[in-house]
């Protein structure tokens, strides 16, 4: 259970004074809420950190106030001068003075009443804002603060600047965060004392205070001690959570699965190629895992086209050899079908019974599959997330392969695992996204990883060129020549329908354009088609009836048409590197020389230019992934948002990698000595997990 002391932090933000239903809506827009949280809570305000400070500490006399700077002045109000009637362009002026001179406060479109009550003639006020010189006079337009001397304390001399949204002011956030911090209870320190001391980091509450109530302009920086401390807290919470999940999976005795190798032999005999060394190594790692008595959780990383599907099939065969069942889950319908199509002929020769289950299998057909599955007449079930449905019951699921992992979240992974019988399902997660080490650590801890580093023999390099979209006619001429030689082309556009406001190339328009030139050999594939239409189109392209396939990014994942050798990507500058790499991986699979043409619209920004140049220079998915991380940060690449994996709230800071690897080592050490988090520090760390809502892990010892 969450410690009671934390309860006030998890209350709705509306429980704070000054925050009503209207402001809650604005907060909802402005704060980054974790997945699954729809209403901003007090806690969410704590993580809404300032991006800088406004320094109001300069308190010169009016004579010495430097034009252009922000100052706080103590003045006497002399007289009000309203604009002439009917002229609402002229400002409302209030002349004030101190002992050294005068200053005009000016208000445009002013609310007279407001000014009169704020600045009564003859009284003293503190005002704070930017001063300017206007001819001979000193002016301050719309002071940020006007307070009477007795309320001087309300004027923040160092004011944090928050990311805002229209209608939400910094002042509101300033007040709200103050209350939020007051609700943070005193907690036992969860970090190691020596480590804190070495880094000169403050305690948790002090860190929050120094960020939301800076006493020094340097406090508010993601490189400074308070922020770094919180970043480390978040990373440690994440690593601990992963460690706990992993420990839990490990502790569950899996069953030892091994087979006689007969089915695998038959598959190898049916393959039209030899396995690469990488594939053989990965398979031996997997079979060792399966034979062990703990539950397997392994990641198979392999660039597009590296041949993961065969590895999946051979691994599943082990489960079948052992008399059990296996499942293969893909993120999309198209991909699930394609896996089924690829695997079917091999399975048939090896004597494996496979079936497909997606959202489209309904009624009698679906019932029949479920029945055969439950009675053990199906060896391998291939499908989409439809496999999660609760009425899908296996006779004896021993092994599950999840393809293109980055599209699924932790929850789904656990749900599939739960379907296993006899001590749980062994899981192999496959990803084509080459995940850099840092990200792997962040999202998976030290998961076991097998890598396919070699490309299958006979692959030719893909010639990649960027090209301004204005040169499209030249490209079309070249395509005409290529088509005559039997080539096939993917043509990717980012949007489905054209909108006048948007300059995005529209797939439908492009399709019409190309069909004018190349006739009915041009097909169109996009997300709004029915599944059946998609299948028909894909099949026509695979069989060569269609020569050019205009598509939105639905083809991104996994489609395999070896004869296709040209990839054209429109508005390539709008895609991320990882996505471009995935798309390019659709070609270069056959014997033909392959090309990837990156069309861009001029002018090209610096980052976009770097991205496209990187694509021209290398086909190494790992290099590209590292660069991608550098250019746009990691969360996006992993598709963290879509998959429902939590992103970071404070941890995106300079020195991230160093902090992360320290957090990982720390978490390892903690769990090695205090696996149940039962020691005093362990107890404090539980609170840390709750603070960062690492629920997944917390649930594991909830019973304890």
Contact footprint for ligand ADP (CB under 6 A): 273-276, 279, 302, 304-310, 432, 456-457, 558, 560, 562, 589
**The pair of three-digit structure tokens given for residue 326, joined into one six-digit string:** 């296996």
The least distance separating Mg ion from the CB of residue 342, rounded to whole angstroms, comes to 9
The least distance separating ligand ADP from the CB of residue 485, rounded to whole angstroms, comes to 21
| CB-nearer residue toward ligand ADP: 523 or 558 | 558
The least distance separating ligand ADP from the CB of residue 404, rounded to whole angstroms, comes to 9
The least distance separating Mg ion from the CB of residue 657, rounded to whole angstroms, comes to 29
The least distance separating ligand ADP from the CB of residue 372, rounded to whole angstroms, comes to 26
327 Cβ contact partners less than 8 Å away, ≥ 6 residues apart: 380, 381, 382, 383, 387, 394, 397, 399, 400, 401, 416, 419
| CB-nearer residue toward Mg ion: 237 or 354 | 354
State the residue number with the nearest CB to ligand ADP: 307
CB 295 within 8 A of CB 426: yes
482 contact choice in ligand ADP, Mg ion, none (CB below 5 to 8 Å, kind-dependent): none
| CB-nearer residue toward Mg ion: 129 or 558 | 558
The least distance separating Mg ion from the CB of residue 329, rounded to whole angstroms, comes to 13
State the residue number with the nearest CB to Mg ion: 558
Three-state SS at 166:
coil
Burial of 329 (0-12, 13-18, 19+ CB in 10 A): buried
The least distance separating Mg ion from the CB of residue 309, rounded to whole angstroms, comes to 5
**The pair of three-digit structure tokens given for residue 209, joined into one six-digit string:** 């205070």
Cα(86)–Cα(609) distance, rounded to whole angstroms? 54
| CB-nearer residue toward ligand ADP: 434 or 436 | 434
Burial of 182 (0-12, 13-18, 19+ CB in 10 A): exposed
Cis amide prior to 262 (ω within 30 degrees): no
Cα(42)–Cα(25) distance, rounded to whole angstroms? 14
The least distance separating ligand ADP from the CB of residue 551, rounded to whole angstroms, comes to 17
| CB-nearer residue toward ligand ADP: 151 or 265 | 265
| CB-nearer residue toward ligand ADP: 320 or 401 | 401
Site string for Mg ion, 549-568 (x = CB under 5 A): ---------x----------
Q: How does strand 124-134 pair with strand 137-141?
A: antiparallel
169 Cβ contact partners less than 8 Å away, ≥ 6 residues apart: none
Q: Which of residues 567-586 bind Mg ion (CB under 5 A)?
A: none
| CB-nearer residue toward Mg ion: 311 or 525 | 311
* DSSP secondary structure letters along 534-600: HHHHHHHHHTTS-SEEEE-GGGTTT---TTEEEEEETTGGGS-HHHHHHHHTTSS-SSS-EEEEEEE
Give φ, ψ of 176 to 5 degrees. -65, -40
| CB-nearer residue toward ligand ADP: 304 or 506 | 304
273 contact choice in ligand ADP, Mg ion, none (CB below 5 to 8 Å, kind-dependent): ligand ADP
310 contact choice in Mg ion, ligand ADP, none (CB below 5 to 8 Å, kind-dependent): ligand ADP
Q: How does strand 145-147 pair with strand 158-161?
A: unpaired
560 contact choice in Mg ion, ligand ADP, none (CB below 5 to 8 Å, kind-dependent): ligand ADP
Residues that bind Mg ion (CB under 5 A): 558
């Amino acid at each position: 259970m969450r410690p009671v002391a934390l309860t006030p932090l998890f209350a709705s933000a509306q429980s704070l004074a000054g925050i009503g239903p209207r402001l809650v809506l604005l907060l909802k827009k402005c704060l980054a809420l974790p997945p699954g949280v729809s209403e901003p809570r007090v806690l969410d305000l704590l993580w809404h950190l300032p991006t800088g400070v406004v320094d109001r500490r300069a308190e010169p006399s009016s004579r010495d106030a430097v034009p252009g700077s922000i100052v706080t002045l103590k003045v006497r109000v002399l007289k009000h001068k309203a604009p002439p009637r009917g002229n609402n362009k002229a400002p409302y002026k209030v002349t004030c003075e101190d002992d050294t001179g005068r200053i005009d406060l000016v208000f445009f479109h002013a609310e007279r009443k407001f000014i009169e009550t704020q600045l009564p003639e003859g009284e003293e006020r503190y005002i704070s804002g930017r001063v300017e010189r206007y001819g001979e006079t000193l002016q301050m337009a719309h002071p940020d603060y006007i307070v009477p001397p007795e309320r001087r304390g309300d004027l923040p001399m160092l004011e944090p600047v928050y990311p805002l949204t229209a209608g939400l002011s910094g002042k509101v956030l300033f007040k709200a965060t103050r209350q939020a911090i007051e609700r943070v209870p005193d907690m036992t320190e969860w970090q190691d004392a020596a480590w804190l001391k070495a880094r000169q980091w403050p305690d948790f509450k002090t860190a929050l205070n120094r960020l939301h109530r800076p006493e020094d302009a340097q406090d508010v920086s993601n490189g400074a001690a308070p922020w770094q401390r919180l970043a480390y807290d978040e990373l440690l919470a994440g690593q601990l959570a992963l460690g706990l999940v992993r420990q839990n999976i490990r502790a569950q005795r899996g069953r030892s699965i091994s087979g006689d190798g007969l089915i695998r032999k038959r598959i190898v005999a049916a393959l039209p190629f030899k396995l690469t060394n990488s594939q053989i190594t990965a398979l031996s790692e997997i079979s060792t895992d399966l034979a062990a008595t703990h539950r397997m959780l392994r990641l198979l990383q392999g660039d597009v086209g590296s041949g993961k599907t065969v590895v999946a099939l051979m691994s599943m065969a082990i489960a079948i050899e052992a008399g059990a069942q296996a499942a293969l889950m893909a993120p999309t319908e198209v991909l699930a079908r394609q896996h089924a199509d690829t695997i079917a002929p091999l399975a048939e020769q090896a004597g494996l019974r496979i079936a497909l289950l997606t959202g489209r299998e309904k009624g009698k057909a679906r019932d029949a599959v479920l029945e055969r599955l439950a009675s053990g007449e199906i060896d391998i079930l291939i499908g989409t997330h439809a496999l999660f449905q609760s009425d899908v019951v296996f006779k004896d699921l021993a092994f599950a392969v999840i393809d293109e992992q980055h599209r699924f979240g932790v929850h789904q992974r656990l749900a599939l695992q739960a379907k296993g019988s006899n001590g749980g399902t062994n899981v192999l997660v496959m990803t084509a996204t080459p995940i850099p080490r840092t990200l792997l650590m962040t999202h998976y801890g030290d998961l076991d990883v097998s890598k396919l580093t070699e490309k299958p023999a006979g692959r030719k390099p893909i010639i990649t060129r960027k090209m301004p979209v204005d040169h499209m006619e030249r490209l079309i001429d070249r395509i005409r020549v290529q088509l005559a030689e039997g080539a096939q082309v993917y043509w990717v556009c980012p949007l489905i329908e054209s909108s006048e406001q948007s300059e995005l190339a529209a797939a439908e328009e492009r399709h019409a354009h190309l069909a004018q030139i190349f006739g009915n050999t041009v097909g169109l594939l996009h997300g709004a088609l029915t599944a059946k239409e998609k299948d028909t189109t894909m099949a026509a392209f695979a069989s060569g009836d269609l020569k050019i396939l205009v598509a939105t990014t639905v083809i991104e994942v996994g489609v395999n048409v070896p004869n296709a050798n040209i990839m054209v990507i429109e508005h390539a500058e709008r895609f991320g590197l990882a996505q471009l790499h995935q798309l390019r991986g659709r070609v270069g699979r056959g014997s033909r020389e392959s090309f990837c043409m990156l069309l861009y619209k001029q002018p090209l920004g610096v980052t976009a230019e770097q991205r496209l140049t990187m694509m021209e220079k290398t086909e190494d998915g790992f290099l590209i992934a590292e660069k991608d991380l550098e250019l746009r940060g990691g969360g996006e690449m992993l598709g963290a948002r879509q998959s429902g994996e939590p992103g970071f709230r404070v941890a995106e800071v300079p020195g991230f990698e160093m902090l992360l690897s320290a957090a990982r080592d720390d978490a390892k050490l903690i769990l090695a000595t205090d696996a149940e988090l039962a020691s005093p520090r362990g107890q404090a760390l539980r609170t840390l997990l709750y603070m960062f809502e690492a629920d997944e892990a917390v649930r594991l010892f909830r019973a304890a």
